[in-house]
Amino acid sequence: MLGIVFAFNLIQPKTASAATTPTYSKVYSTAKAQLGKRYSWGAVGPYTFDCSGLTSYVYKHGASKSIPRTAQAQYNKYKKVSYKNIKKGDLVFFGWSKHSISHVGLYVGKGKMIDAQNRGVITESVKAPWWHYVGSARVTALD
């Protein structure tokens, strides 16, 4: 007796899911977990950070996204957004001009950022008097 067996693949093709889409919540929780860690120029974590080392670490571990290592390279690479259109998770940049970026932080809403500076990894105002805000950029859309 000859039997014929048909197998049907009932599994749907894979599409992007919430598990693979970067979320602000994951980026923020990664950044928040670094609060209180020490600052060290050139440090990329996980125990000490400089400013761009922190933002690189946060995006790598919070959004599975590699971004350039320095603040200037991060500024140069990503699409600029005006301060009035800034969203949580955007990067905020400081320096003398767009050609001399010297600091970067992660925007967390209500005019605040998480950044690594001489006092360590802290939350502070984007418009603090010791920073000269130059611009903002969006690394990726975050849900």
Which amino acids are annotated catalytic?
A: 51, 103, 115
φ, ψ dihedrals at 107, nearest 5°: -70, 130
Contacts of 51 (CB under 8 A, 6+ apart): 71, 103, 104, 105, 115, 116, 117
Q: Are 28 and 55 in contact (CB under 8 A)?
A: no
* Cα Rg of the chain, angstroms: 20
* CB-side neighbour CA atoms (13 Å) of 46: 6
- The Cα angle at residue 119 between residues 56 and 127, in degrees rounded to 5: 75
DSSP state of 85: G
Please name the residue that has the structure tokens 């005006």. Answer: 82
